[in-house]
A and B are shown apart, each in its own frame.
Chain A
Amino acid sequence: MRFAVFGLIMVVVVGVLTTRLMYLQLARGGYYAGVAQENRLLQQPLRSTRGLIYDRAGRPVAVNIPSYAVTITPADLPLPQRDAVIDRLATLLDMPAAQIGQALDRNAGRLFEPVRIAGDVPGDIARIIAEERRRLPGVEISDEYRRQYEYGSLLSHVLGYTGRVTADDLMRLGPVGYLHDDVIGKGGVEAAYEEALRGTYGTEVVERDGSGRIVRTVQVTRQPQPGDSIELSIDVEMQRQAEQAMQWAMDIVKLQRGVVIVMNPQTGEVLAMVSLPSYDNNLFARGISTADFESLLHDPRRPLLNFAISEQYPPGSTYKLVTGAAALAEGIINDRTTLDTFPYMELGPNRYYDWNRRGFGPLDIYGGFAHSSDTFFYQLAGRLGIDRLSDYAHDFGFGARTGIDLPAEARGIIPSNDWKKELFNEPIYPGEVYHAGIGQGYNATTPLQVLNAYAALANGGTLYRPQVVRRILGPDGSVVRDFEPQAIRQLDIDPKILRTMRQASREVVTSGHTGNLRDLPIVVAGKTGTAEFGTRNAAGVIPFHSWFVAFVPGFGPDQPGDPAKTDSELAIVAFAYEANARGNAATEVVKYFLQLHYDLDVDLRRPDLLSEPFWGGN
């Protein structure tokens, strides 16, 4: 009985399968034979559209615009006509014929895969090519999107650019679905947020005819998912003001490089980040020519580098924040202790000069910081020793990447005994401790590190991770990721000490050390820096960079703030590379930026301080 049931099941199973075979092979056999013989199915990717980028006010800064690309399908290009077609295309597209030939040869073996010859082809050229298609077998015009950066060089260092994947990229990204002619973010936000911006590619099954031409889409097996959009914390308006201020100073002093960064100290949001000279990232988005790329790459002013984060410089006197706070925290001085200052200090046979060759007489921390007395801070550094000094520097975020969401950030150097032993196999010498105390010698920091340390000072002691992106938005506008301030750490320094240093920073301005910054109708606190580097020039002057890092406590023009409070929402750093001028160029830049930003109707700029070269002194 059970044998019979099993037999029945067996017959039913084979019956079902036979019926299915009859349907596929007999009833539909003709159809499938057609598909198999004359047509080939091909699975191909469907590209997603790249997410857009907006500034914090919602202004689009990176968009996609439709453009034409020219491709050649090798299988459709008969060999005898090859040279003629390549020559004609070379003329139309204004590119070397050899380049087209090379592109075709690189793809040898993949006959049915269209080879991309040129992108961003002007509409009239595309129309001519389309009209001449009989004379140009295998050549196709395809629609694609290309990136357009609405503000060009203004935001290049923040945004980066998109370009074709390289062979190296493909080794790494081919397995996750990148195509041989794919577009990828390079540098800046485009690279840092590549995954979110790219979206997810889909796939479709298409049918090709005998000659390999795609005749129809059989089935979209997976819909592409557009990339997410990004909202920057950068404000284009502030970015423009920062650039205008720095450009003004650069033109007068003939600066080679300049940086301005603006940040909200309460959150770590970067509101503006200017690194000059810049470049036009639209050149890259259009497909940069080899000549243009070479000239950018070999430009001695190095416009492709973002000096705000990718290069490190001696911080100079801005670093006295670390030395002063460390000395207060370690009980070496209190805020009433006065120390004598001198024209120079002697260590063995060496003299360590103050920038003021007359000395200042007795100073407390407020005066020492305000006048930036070097001998005052030599004494503090000497008593702290290099290792304690280095610990506080690390606490303020020096000597480590801030972790900003941009690629290629430099780490900086903070010397310590261990560091020097590892590198030079000798300990730090006492004179080097003096230099470290005033941000010279081995010390190297990025402008962003300097700003971030002062932002922590301004907000009462929280070191934030700087961020340039505020929100990630889905294709439908929903918020995928919201900006959260990310604290790196709480400074291991008593808030009272930070308050002292904030007030000392205010004295830097009120004492008149900063030109006429005190005449601004807003309360500003900050610190200048003059960082010597290299060797004496022909005029006997050691070249120097100038720094100014500032924060605006409280409110603004109408309600002057109080530097004792921790409510600052604006911190600025300006860095001027090799700023050979009588006045501090960076201070002038910050002053001008504040005038623009608060739309002040005073003009306190002092171009006279910048147009004369420096003859000595600080």
Chain B
Amino acid sequence: MSAIRVERSEAAAWRSRPQAASWHAFDPQLAFYALALAFVGLLVAWTNSAGAPLEPGSTFTRGLMWFAIAIVAFAVSAAIDYGWLRSLAWLVYVINIGLLVMTLVFGSGAAGAQRWVAFGAIQIQFSEIAKILMIAVLAAFLASRRDRIGRPATILGAGLLMAPPFVLVMVQPDLGTAIVFVAVLFGALFMAGASLRWLGLTAAAVVAALPVVWFQLRDYQQQRLLSFLDPTADPLGSGWQVQQSLIAVGSGGLWGRGLTNGSYSGSDLLPVQTTDFAFAVLLEELGFVGGIVVFGLFLLLIWRILLVGWRSDDAFGVAFAAGMASLLLFQVLVNVGMVTGIMPVTGVPLPFITHGGASLISMAVGLGILQGINMRRVARPDW
């Protein structure tokens, strides 16, 4: 610790130079909670593998593969100096836009949407990667404006930066991811110290613009939102999906029906149980207790992420941590809310639990960068 104290006094001098990583400052808790959540995700993959989890190509074996890749991605992201992200933020931004455009051109997906790009047997949802890349770009932008952070132009600039990916995701159409972008934008701006008055006004403007957005939505998106408001008005069956999800969740009770004992896992009664509704299977099989454990792990993880921001004296670090924390919290809210019938059905995954390589690897990269920030920080006193 003494070595770090020395650095602190010379913080101003260090800032412009590449900083050496210190593995002493590696936050084991941050890694542990994430690993625990990924483990829970593998449990759900196991139970969703329709009785043959070890068959090649099953949800579980694919989950294992992505888990291994995620570990590597995490380590690499932590080891590489995140400083390049700041200096090459514009390049990251361009690549990000490119990936989203590619999705629109080559993409495929359900119900007329274009969400995935297929590489052989592997489908990649670039919008998941875009979430992390945009957090990095946003953080770099906010760091560059750290001296003028309180001006309204900061909010305007960040909004303009976010607009192209927002639109590109919206026309896929992927309403869920688009809203996640907005949540991340507000979370990062708020934590980075943007003017509260202007932030409030912007939020009010966004709310006022909702009717305009409504008419941009595809029919099925409108129907989903309507079916959330009134489950009897439901031509496309998302009300049916929610109905099934509620039965699965409710029948789990306090302790759950036991892993792989759920009536819905491995059956076709709960549509898309391996993707967006995976958490419903967990709640049925592991019950209220299992749900609370997962909530606890998410709370602890987000707390450790915020702590990285708190301890960082670097505006990039604060904004990046805030973006990550907002991303996690908002996705938990929307996905769990959907599964338990208090939020409309949107394609927002539950990080770590929902099976999907792009989502898991994005999380790993994000957490890796956070570890990097932590390890390269100019120390503050620990909590």
Q: Which residues of A contact B (CB under 8 A)?
A: 2-3, 5-7, 9-11, 13-14, 16-18, 20-22, 24-26, 28-33, 35-37, 40-41, 43, 203, 205, 219-222
Q: Are B250 and A41 in contact (CB under 8 A)?
A: no
Contact partner of A41 (CB less than 8 A), chosen from B247, B253, B303, is: B247
CA distance A28 to B288 in the complex (A): 12
Say how far B192's CB is from chain A's closest CB, in angstroms.
9
Query: Which residue of chain B lies nearest to A222 when distances are taken between CB atoms in the complex?
Result: B235
Q: A17-B332, A25-B254 are in contact. Are A6 and B190 (CB under 8 A)?
A: yes
Q: Are B191 and A205 in contact (CB under 8 A)?
A: no
Say how far B382's CB is from chain A's closest CB, in angstroms.
15
Name 11 A/B residue pairs within 8 A (Cβ), A-sorted: A3-B309, A5-B190, A13-B333, A18-B292, A21-B288, A25-B249, A25-B253, A25-B291, A36-B247, A43-B240, A221-B232
Q: Are B340 and A41 in contact (CB under 8 A)?
A: no
Q: Are B243 and A41 in contact (CB under 8 A)?
A: yes
CA distance A3 to B302 in the complex (A): 12
Contact partner of A24 (CB less than 8 A), chosen from B235, B249, B309, is: B249
Interface centre among A2, A10, A24, A35 (most CB of B within 10 A): A24
Q: Are A32 and B250 in contact (CB under 8 A)?
A: yes
Q: Are B250 and A9 in contact (CB under 8 A)?
A: no
CA distance A40 to B333 in the complex (A): 29
Q: Are A20 and B340 in contact (CB under 8 A)?
A: yes
| In the complex, B182 has a CB within 8 A of chain A | no
Q: Are A33 and B253 in contact (CB under 8 A)?
A: yes
Q: Are B247 and A17 in contact (CB under 8 A)?
A: no
Say how far B41's CB is from chain A's closest CB, in angstroms.
18
Q: A13-B332, A41-B243 are in contact. Are A20 and B342 (CB under 8 A)?
A: yes
Q: A17-B295, A20-B340, A221-B239 are in contact. Are A35 and B251 (CB under 8 A)?
A: yes
Say how far A72's CB is from chain B's closest CB, in angstroms.
24
Number of interface residues of B (CB under 8 A): 49
Query: Which residue of chain B lies nearest to A11 when distances are taken between CB atoms in the complex?
Result: B299
7 shortest interchain CB distances as A-B pairs: A32-B250, A36-B251, A29-B253, A25-B288, A33-B251, A32-B251, A24-B250
Beta-carbon contacts under 8 Å, B250-304 to A: 250-254, 263-264, 269, 283, 287-288, 291-292, 295, 298-299, 302-303
Q: Are A35 and B332 in contact (CB under 8 A)?
A: no
| In the complex, B99 has a CB within 8 A of chain A | no
CA distance A3 to B191 in the complex (A): 7
CA distance A584 to B264 in the complex (A): 76
Q: A25-B291, A33-B251 are in contact. Are A3 and B240 (CB under 8 A)?
A: no
Taking CB atoms, residues of chain A closer than 8 Å to B237 are 43, 203, 221
Q: A17-B333, A43-B240, A222-B235 are in contact. Are A25 and B190 (CB under 8 A)?
A: no
CA distance A43 to B240 in the complex (A): 8
Could you list 4 further interchain pairs (A-B, Cβ under 8 angstroms) beyond the known A14-B298, A29-B253? Answer: A6-B191, A32-B249, A36-B251, A36-B263
Q: Give the A-B contact count at a CB cut-off of 8 A.
A: 118
Provide the main secondary structure of the chain B interface: helix
Q: Are B191 and A17 in contact (CB under 8 A)?
A: no
Query: Which residue of chain B lies nearest to A43 when distances are taken between CB atoms in the complex?
Result: B240
Q: Are A37 and B246 in contact (CB under 8 A)?
A: no
Taking CB atoms, residues of chain A closer than 8 Å to B342 are 16, 20
Q: Are A28 and B250 in contact (CB under 8 A)?
A: yes
Q: Are A10 and B288 in contact (CB under 8 A)?
A: no
Taking CB atoms, residues of chain B closer than 8 Å to A3 are 191, 306, 309-310
Q: Are B248 and A25 in contact (CB under 8 A)?
A: no
Taking CB atoms, residues of chain B closer than 8 Å to A26 are 253-254, 288
Beta-carbon contacts under 8 Å, B162-221 to A: 187, 190-191, 193
Contact partner of B246 (CB less than 8 A), chosen from A2, A7, A24, A33, is: A24
Query: Which residue of chain B lies nearest to A28 when distances are taken between CB atoms in the complex?
Result: B250
CA distance A220 to B310 in the complex (A): 53
| In the complex, B244 has a CB within 8 A of chain A | yes
Q: A25-B250, A29-B251, A221-B232 are in contact. Are A14 and B243 (CB under 8 A)?
A: no
Beta-carbon contacts under 8 Å, B82-103 to A: none
Taking CB atoms, residues of chain A closer than 8 Å to B264 are 36
Q: A6-B190, A13-B332, A35-B251 are in contact. Are A21 and B283 (CB under 8 A)?
A: yes
Taking CB atoms, residues of chain B closer than 8 Å to A220 are 232
Taking CB atoms, residues of chain A closer than 8 Å to B243 are 41, 205, 219
CA distance A527 to B107 in the complex (A): 64
Taking CB atoms, residues of chain B closer than 8 Å to A40 are 269
Q: Are B253 and A14 in contact (CB under 8 A)?
A: no
Say how far B358's CB is from chain A's closest CB, in angstroms.
24
Taking CB atoms, residues of chain A closer than 8 Å to B248 are 36
Taking CB atoms, residues of chain B closer than 8 Å to A205 are 240, 243
| In the complex, B18 has a CB within 8 A of chain A | no
Contact partner of B329 (CB less than 8 A), chosen from A10, A18, A222, is: A10
Taking CB atoms, residues of chain A closer than 8 Å to B295 are 14, 17-18
Contact partner of B287 (CB less than 8 A), chosen from A16, A25, A219, is: A25
Say how far A14's CB is from chain B's closest CB, in angstroms.
5
Q: Are A29 and B292 in contact (CB under 8 A)?
A: no
CA distance A219 to B234 in the complex (A): 11
Q: Are B288 and A41 in contact (CB under 8 A)?
A: no
| In the complex, B51 has a CB within 8 A of chain A | no
Taking CB atoms, residues of chain A closer than 8 Å to B283 are 21, 25
Interface centre among A14, A21, A29, A203 (most CB of B within 10 A): A21
Q: Are B306 and A17 in contact (CB under 8 A)?
A: no
CA distance A36 to B302 in the complex (A): 34
Q: Are B340 and A31 in contact (CB under 8 A)?
A: no
Taking CB atoms, residues of chain A closer than 8 Å to B240 are 43, 205, 221
Contact partner of B193 (CB less than 8 A), chosen from A2, A11, A221, is: A2
Query: Which residue of chain A lies nearest to B330 when distances are taken between CB atoms in the complex?
Result: A13
Taking CB atoms, residues of chain B closer than 8 Å to A30 are 253
CA distance A26 to B269 in the complex (A): 23
| In the complex, B325 has a CB within 8 A of chain A | yes
CA distance A337 to B350 in the complex (A): 91
Q: Are A21 and B291 in contact (CB under 8 A)?
A: yes
CA distance A24 to B193 in the complex (A): 39
CA distance A9 to B248 in the complex (A): 28
Query: Which residue of chain A lies nearest to B296 when distances are taken between CB atoms in the complex?
Result: A14
| In the complex, B42 has a CB within 8 A of chain A | no
| In the complex, B157 has a CB within 8 A of chain A | no
| In the complex, B337 has a CB within 8 A of chain A | yes
Q: Are B190 and A2 in contact (CB under 8 A)?
A: yes
Q: Are B247 and A35 in contact (CB under 8 A)?
A: yes
CA distance A14 to B240 in the complex (A): 26
Taking CB atoms, residues of chain A closer than 8 Å to B253 are 25-26, 29-30, 33
Say how far B236's CB is from chain A's closest CB, in angstroms.
10
Taking CB atoms, residues of chain A closer than 8 Å to B299 are 10-11, 14
CA distance A20 to B249 in the complex (A): 11
CA distance A43 to B237 in the complex (A): 9
| In the complex, B367 has a CB within 8 A of chain A | no
CA distance A26 to B250 in the complex (A): 8
Taking CB atoms, residues of chain A closer than 8 Å to B329 are 9-10, 13
Query: Which residue of chain B lies nearest to A30 when distances are taken between CB atoms in the complex?
Result: B253
Contact partner of B306 (CB less than 8 A), chosen from A6, A21, A221, is: A6
Query: Which residue of chain B lies nearest to A9 when distances are taken between CB atoms in the complex?
Result: B329
CA distance A187 to B252 in the complex (A): 54
CA distance A16 to B237 in the complex (A): 26
Taking CB atoms, residues of chain B closer than 8 Å to A6 are 187, 190-191, 306, 322, 325
CA distance A26 to B291 in the complex (A): 12
Interface centre among A5, A20, A37, A203 (most CB of B within 10 A): A20
CA distance A30 to B250 in the complex (A): 8
Taking CB atoms, residues of chain A closer than 8 Å to B142 are none
Say how far A47's CB is from chain B's closest CB, in angstroms.
16
Taking CB atoms, residues of chain A closer than 8 Å to B333 are 13, 16-17
Taking CB atoms, residues of chain B closer than 8 Å to A28 are 250
CA distance A37 to B302 in the complex (A): 37
| In the complex, B336 has a CB within 8 A of chain A | yes
CA distance A221 to B235 in the complex (A): 8
Taking CB atoms, residues of chain B closer than 8 Å to A33 are 250-251, 253
Taking CB atoms, residues of chain A closer than 8 Å to B332 are 13-14, 17
